[in-house]
Structure formats: C-alpha cells, structure tokens
Structure 1
C-alpha cells in the first residue's frame, strides 16, 4: 500500500469509502462520473467524466489516465482533509467489509455506511455530533512535531543545598580559605537573560552583598547552633547538679541553738514542709529541706502540733525540732474551762502587747461580726454578748496578731463544738427556751461544779429548781456564782442578807429563773452533763473540801451539811 493510493485491482469501489476518488496503482481503479462529481471537493468537475461508463455492476476502466494529468489533490484533499490517512489495504477478491485492520491499529475495521471512527483509535463516537468539532488530523508527512513547552523555574530540578553545614565548605571566619568578592561575583554576572544570579548570595540575593552576605548568614547560623548546644549542655548540667544536690548533698543549715526569741504560729493541718517554710521565713532555720530531714530523723518529729512556739533565731534544724517537741516552748494561749470573758480579754491584751481594755472594747463593738449564731444575738440585759462563746481550748495568739482574729477563732470553735449536741432538739426535750438557755445552764453547771462527776447531778438541780411548782425553791435558783459574776469576783464568804438585797438581772437570789445569759465558758463535759442530766430528785449541793460536791433532796438535809461546812471553816 502506498501512502495515498490503493492496491491494484478491479474491485468495486463504494462512494462511502474514505479514499473514494483515488486511482489506486497505475490508475486501475474505476469510479462513476456521477458519484465523483458529487464527491469532488470544492465543486470541481472531473475532466475525464466522458470517458467513464457505468455497467450496472463493478466499475470498469474505459480509458487509462496519465497520473500526471490526474488532479493530485482529489485524494489528498478529500482523504487527507477528512481523515488524514488512507483507509488501509483492500485485498482483491474480498469484500471491503471483511477487511480486518486490527493487526495494524488494534481496532476493528470500520464497516461501510458506519459513522467515522475516532481517528485516534477510540471506539466512542464524537460526543459533539459534528465533524467540525475537531480539526481533521494531518497525514504523517504533514504532521508537525509537538510544540515544546518552555522550561519554567518550577520545572527545573531543585537547587542543590549549598549551606556549609551540608556541603562541608568552611564557614565564614575560617582562615583556611578566602575569596575575592569581585572575582566571585564576576563568575555569576553573565546570565543568558542579562540577570545577575542570586543563588549564591549575589548582590540581588538574600545573603546581603555577594559572598560577604553568605558568610555573615552562615556565621550567624553556626553561632545559633553553638548557643543552643551550650545552653542545652548547661541546662542538663544544672538539672543534674540539682538532682545530685537533692539526693546526696546536705541541705544548708545553721549550727548551734540560736539566739534571741521569736514566736511562731503553726496552723492546723500544716505538714513538715509547711512548718519548715514558716520557720525559714521567720529566720529560725536556714532551709526547708534541713528541717524536714531533721523532723524525719527524730522518732517523735511527726507529733508536732499546731499552736504558738517560742523559738530562737538561726538555730539548727535539729535544735528547732527538739524545742518544738518540748512543751515548755509551746506558748499557745489556753482558755481553761469555766473562765469568764473578762479574763480572756486581759490575756489577749497582754500577749498582743495592747493597751488594757482594747480586746474587750473590740468584742463589744464587733460582737455580731465575729461569727455568733443567730440564736445567740440580740438578747436583752446581756452583760457580754460573747460570754459562753470563747470556747475553752488552745489558740495560737502571737505577737503581731489582731484581737478580732483571735476572738473569731474562739467563737468558731464554740460553734463547731455546740453543733455536736443538736441543741435545738435538746432544748425542746428538756423544756427550755432554745439553745441559748442550754448554753446558759451549762455555764452555771461549769461554774458550780467541782469535778466532772458533778455535772450531770448539777444540771438536774438546775432543771428541778427552775420549775415554778417545786416545793423547795419555787422557781428560784439562788446560785452564788451568778452574784459573783456580776461582781466580777469569786468568793464563798457571802452574806445571805446582802445577796437578797442586791438588785441585778444576774443575781439569782434577787430574781427567779435563769440569768440573761451565760456566766462563763463551759467545756465539753459541762455541756454533756447539761444535755444528759440525772433524774434522782436532787435540789441542793455543797462542797465541803472544794474538790467534791455532796447532793441532797431536801432543805433539811442541806442545812446539816451547811453546819458541817461552817464548823470546818472555824477550825
């Protein structure tokens, strides 16, 4: 097969053949004049039309034509413009429909009267539906080579890393190699487009001016790396030192027993480290670790209690632990059971080195701001609203503190302890008017009782005497302690005539019933005896030795004991 012709033979040529109009080899192909005239491109007439006849069968050549006289553009214009190549071989004696071109193209041959196949070998029809949708491909002889795309910067190979850290070149400042800046720059001045390359730190590059910029940047990078390495090594060394010091080195510590006095307050729940911090802050020990170590080495070190301690300054940790375990160093303010508020105020003024009367004045002015419960407020004829609420216990009252802070701690402790007894329910059970009267009764029991064993009997005496219908006192208490309270004294040498004439709400010889409020600060046992009285019928009591009390049920029995007591006083 030639590039543009067909194989020789007299095989019929159908007009739908892509090479219709081609003479084949040596002009042996025949074609009808009418079909050629219709298919000839650009409206040209075939000059050889009168020499061809149609026999109703295969086309026959009537006259041979000189290939040079035949218009060469027929097959080229029609076949090349429409398909760009010949249709392939037609073997004589075989119908065109049976021609198999798969050996050449890998595609099935296109049958007659079928739509043109994809010239690039695809089986899908033209989706646009028109032959003008795509330009006809050119034959191999006229095809142009694909246009080469210009190589852009991003298509180029990645620039090779030229940092001295990776290339092994000497960093700036290395005296083993020096460069001539001008000579170095000239090597990169002659770019094809007249530009000066900036890849190696030229004048237009990022590294400043030529090689100097590169050297400066490389030097800075090396400096940063060196600083990081040194810092890392230093950090590791510091951590290692601290670890060694904490594990194996002795903590800083003073030596000796110290000098001078300093009061230290240790709060409740303080740990060994908390105590060590307080001592270090006040100049007692040199380090927390030293104190904790000394506390752990002492078998009784964990028994250090909250409170105020009088210690020395700049004493060894071992000495500090030993002194805090010695009761003599503990300088907590302890309120004994049954003490009146007047005594408490005086002691606070002394400890805080305040003017006498300062704490008592603050107590009266700020009574409702110190934590009293609602049921303890706004009672009439009360001498001291805080009486009965400065609970007997140990309190840290050290120099530099404030009176209201100490009073607030005492009231808070009283609330905590009283809440354990459910005073509201107990008051209803015992027939008294609320918790306030129960605290008042407990203060009487605390003041009159001589031992803890007396409290339950003493509270029964109070309840029995308060009954208006009792045949002994008819509702009168007649306790010496209430008279002594209002007189701010403690004595047993009292005249019955003077007692009955002294008019005061607290004088139970003058008025019946309970005094306006508590007359002392009762403790836990007195409160326990108050809410759990005996039921033996006791109305009277007397202490012959000042240590124990004797109880009787009638006035006659009581008078016998009074005479016995008076005889002991004379002797």
Structure 2
C-alpha cells in the first residue's frame, strides 16, 4: 500500500512508529527501481534510469537532488553499491529517508524544482536518457557539398526556390521519390542540376505588373468619379439632330440620363452641374426638344431653355380646343384650320370614352378631352396623332376618378355632364381656393329647389365660349337676344357640353364641393379676386363693389 496520497506518502523506517494509528504498515519487497521517496511536497525527487555500458551490461543511473542554499541544486549519480553504503537500501529491503537541506530564507526551499527549472543539460553525456550511442556504433553524418558557384551550402530547405530554378532530370526525381527520408540520412544525396531560366521570373513580373496597373486604373477611375470633373463634350454639337422627349415631373438627373442615352451629353452629372449653374435652369419644363449629338452640357441647357428647340404643344388648364388646334397648325407648319377640320372628321376615331356625346348641339365633340399637359409635336408628325395623345391622357384620368359613379352621387345624369361642370369651375374660378366654392355654386343653381336664380346658371363664360371671346362686359340686351343652348342666361341647366379642358385641380373640386350654401359670386376686381354670397342682398353689395372698381 502507498498511503492516502498514493505515490506521495512517506514509508516508515524499521523500528519507527507507523503514522497510521500505531499499526505497523505492511512492507513489501521493494523492486529495484531506485528510491521513490519524496520530500514534504509532492513530486518526483529521485529518478533512476536504466542504461547499458560499452560492454552491454545493464546499469542504473540514479539522481539525488539536494538543495544547498537558495536556488542551487546538486546532482549525483549513484550505483546500487553506493546506495547500500549511503543508507539507500538496508539488508531488510527498506531504505532510509534522505533529508533535504533547505535554506530557511528561501520560501520555496521545501518545494521540488519545477520541470526544466535551471537544470543542467545532460544531452551528449553518459547521464542522458536515452544514453548516447558509442562512437564506434554511430553512423556517419551525411555530408552536403557546398554550392559550386558560391561555395556555401544553404541546406536542404534553403537556397533557391524551385519556382525560380529549372527542374532536374526525370531520373533524379524518380530516384528521390523512391528513396525514404531515412535512406537519405545515410547516403549522400544526389544533387540535381538546375537550369536557371527567366521565363518564370518574367511571368511573375507580368502578373505583378498587371495587378499594379489594374489597381492604378481603378484608383484613377475612383478619383475621377469622386473628385474629378464629370465627363463632358466640348462645343455646341456635331450637327446631327435628335429629338428627346422629357416627361412631366422629370428632375435634372432623369433629364440628364435621357440626354446621355440619346448621345446629346456625355454624362448626366455634367448636365446636372450645368443646369444648376444656369440661373434659368429651374424653368426647364417637360416637352419634346430638338438637340444635337455631342453637345457640351452647358450648350444643351441653354438650347433647351430656348423656345425654338421645343417641339411640343402645351395645353394649359381651361384652354379651349380652338387654341390647341391653332398651336398644332403652327408647330407642324400647316395651314390655319387644318387641325380643326381633322378633329371634326375623325373625332370618333381618336379614342373618346363611350359616354362622350356628340349630338348636334355639342359645338366640338373633343372639347373637354384634350387633357392639359405637354405633347410631342415635331415637324413631320400628323395632327391626328397629336390629338390622340391628348384624348388618351384625358380618358385615363377620367377613368381613374370613376366619373360615371361620381356623377350619380352629385345629382347629374352622366359623366359627360360632370366633365361639363368641371369645365365651368375651371373657367369661372380664378384661384385654387375658388374652385370648391365655385363647384357648390353650380350644384346649388342646378337644384330644382333653387328659387334665387330658378335653375339658371347665368355664367358669362358659356356665352363667351359660344362667341369665341373672353369679354367680361356683356350687355343684358345682347345676352337676352341670343337663344343658343350655350347661353346660360336664357337656358336653364348645363350647356350641351364642356366649354374648355379642365385641369386636375378643377376636377377634384367638382368631385368635392363645399357645403356652405354659396349661390352667388362676383369677380370684384374683374380679374383674380372672386367673392361669394349666399343671399341676393349680399350679391347686390358685391355687384356694387365691382361696378365701383371697373368704372361702370
């Protein structure tokens, strides 16, 4: 038994009291492996190793550790006979305890030395384990020839890298692959001849040079994109004309992209910079422009701001069809009245909604269906193609608001009447704030319960449409003598059809009028200021105000 601590317990000497409750500890014959006794701390203090002498006899080398003074160690090698004289073994098979001489001033004097801590190196001496091979039995060390060129042998893993040197003969490579590592230790290695070549070096140079060139190129491009000026052409173009259509609501970047795609400018960035630098740049509108390829961005901006470059027709909110027809004739360089004639002949072929009316009383079937906006009208185009663009836009807008359903909810017969109301609101209203009040005036006067005007709208705008004028001073005699259905002073209800092309603001106002009871209105300054009244007495006061300002 080895005690409670396994291999770390002390063995009692012969004639001494056992530390285990007064009972003598059972002794067993000690195998001759040296003294395993340790000091007060755990660890192997003494070790004995087996070795063979030169005659091949088995021997044992033991080590005793003595601590003589602080951080000092002494080692001694003992033979078995020496252990008998020193008390290592007695005749009974037990051995004595070897005391340690520790320095009282050393706090670590009672502890065994850690592994590797300031121990002498026994490698190459007879105390080493395993013991060194006798000189007579040692194999000769392989010798390497020095480099014939430099006289220096760089070693097996040093010197020229295989990538930069020519390969040896195939026979040498095959022989080396068959030979093991141990075989090379005992034999002189065969050194293959290396043929130096510049091909590999040239490949490396090209690869690294190409890489550096690529990095430099992209670095330059990055600098140009981030900090350098945007690519731009020079001059006012190469003489090759192109037509570019700019949609409504397009910003500077979108316009620049379209110009770049058409070959007008070299980059959208250059166009944006030029647009911002031009004081009139914010006035650039949608439309069709005739430009030239390879123009500088500044030249393109300047030309687009010139009305001569704009190949388009603009329909303004409230504009009558007569004005649109004249603008198309002028843009296409056609004789006056050409577009009007085509519109009358092909009105049903231009894509009008199914609910649009074209009765004999309707002065122009396309009135109210040439939706406000900008449309391409370049030389060589046909009038019907331009008109079809406008009708298509109106049809899509009206369908989006579901005019058929909304008309019934507002007390009207159909969507065509609702478009007519929108045109009245657009014609009589002067400002955005007027539109909803004006729509309520229309609906209140159309009611059968209206006793103020007895369902008469009494709008000057309808009579002016009939006459093709814009006169605000109309005598009562003239008005009362005209019995046209567009004369709302003599005919109740709505006129036969729209009297202009309403814009989107007037459309929304007609769909959502106020509910305040407005039934009268007067443009008191004759132009922009419109005031509303709920009673006839209030209306008379507004009328007197108008007469005072207009000189009547």
Structure 1-normalised TM-score?
Answer: 0.50
Question: 1:327 and 1:500, CA in 2 relative to 1: closer, same or farther beyond 3 A?
Answer: same
- Cα 1:306–1:488 change in 2 (3 A) is closer
Distance 1:514 1:521 in 2: 16
Distance 1:487-1:305 versus aligned 2 partners, 3 A rule: closer
Q: In the alignment, what sits opposite 2:297?
A: 318
Could you tell me how far apart the structure 1 residues matched to 2:513 and 2:428 are? 15
Change (3 A) 1:300 1:544: same
Whose helix fraction is larger, Structure 1's or Structure 2's?
Answer: 1
Note closer, same or farther for the CA distance 1:451–1:256 as it changes in structure 2 (3 Å cut): same
Match of 2:243 among 261, 264, 270: 264
Q: 1:503 aligns with which of 483, 494, 498?
A: 483
Aligned equivalents of 2:275 and 2:495: distance in 1? 52
* Equivalent residue number for residue 458 of structure 1: 438
The correspondence for 1:406, drawn from 383, 386, 389, is 386
Write the mapping of 1:139-158 to structure 2, written as runs, cut at 5 A. Answer: none
Confirm or deny that 1:424 pairs with 2:440: no
* TM-score between the two structures when normalised by the length of structure 2: 0.52
Q: Which residue of 2 aligns with 1:484?
A: 464
Match of 2:517 in 1: 537
Instruction: Give the whole-Å Cα distance in 1 for the aligned partners of 2:518 and 2:385.
Output: 42
Q: CA RMSD in A?
A: 3.5
1:556 aligned onto 2:537? yes
Q: Which of the pair is proportionally richer in strand?
A: 2
The reply on whether 1:357 has 2:337 as its aligned counterpart is yes
Displacement after TM superposition at 1:314 (Å): 5.8
Tell me, yes or no, if the aligned pair for 1:256 and 1:319 is still in contact at 8 Å.
no
C-alpha distance in 1, partners of 2:454/2:299?
Answer: 61
1:514 aligns with 2:494: yes
Indicate how the Cα distance of structure 1 residues 563 and 293 shifts in structure 2: closer, same or farther if over 3 A, else same. Answer: closer
- What is the CA–CA distance in structure 2 between the aligned matches of 1:473 and 1:533, rounded to whole Å? 19
Name the CA shift for 1:260/1:355 in 2 (closer, same or farther; >3 Å). Answer: farther
Tell me the equivalent position of 1:469: 449
Where do residues 89-488 of structure 1 align in structure 2 (5 Å cutoff)? 255-258=234-237, 264-266=243-245, 268=247, 275-276=259-260, 278=262, 280=263, 285=264, 290=266, 294-295=270-271, 306-311=286-291, 313=292, 316-323=295-302, 326=305, 331=310, 332-488=312-468
Separation in 2, partners of 1:254, 1:350: 33
Corresponding position of 1:223? none
CA distance in 2, matches of 1:495, 1:305: 41
Note closer, same or farther for the CA distance 1:431–1:296 as it changes in structure 2 (3 Å cut).
closer
1:540–1:554 contact (8 Å) kept in structure 2: yes
* Whole-angstrom distance in 1 between the partners of 2:242 and 2:329: 16
CA 1:368–1:349 in structure 2 vs 1: closer, same or farther (change >3 Å)?
same
Paired residue total: 319
Contact 1:508 1:515 in 2 (8 A): yes
Equivalent position of 1:239 in the other structure: none
List per-residue Cα deviations over 1:16-68 (Å, max 9, x = no partner): xxxxxxxxxxxxxxxxxxxxxxxxxxxxxxxxxxxxxxxxxxxxxxxxxxxxx
SS in 1 for 2:319: coil
1:191 matched residue in structure 2: none
Q: How many angstroms apart in 2 are the aligned matches of 1:338 and 1:498?
A: 25
2: CA distance, partners of 1:296 / 1:454 = 38
* Pair 1:498–1:481, CA change in 2 (3 A): same
Whole-Å Cα distance in 2 between the matches of residues 299 and 508 of structure 1?
49
Matching residue of 2:548: 567
Q: What secondary structure does 2:433 align onto?
A: helix
Q: Which blocks of at least 5 consecutive residues in structure 2 are unaligned? A: 1-216, 223-229
- Cα deviation digits, residues 324-360 of structure 1 (max 9, x gap): 6747676242211111000110011111111000111
Q: Deviations over 1:369-425 (max 9, x none)?
A: 111110114434110001011111122222222211111111111122222322122
Distance in 1, Cα, partners of 2:376 & 2:427: 25
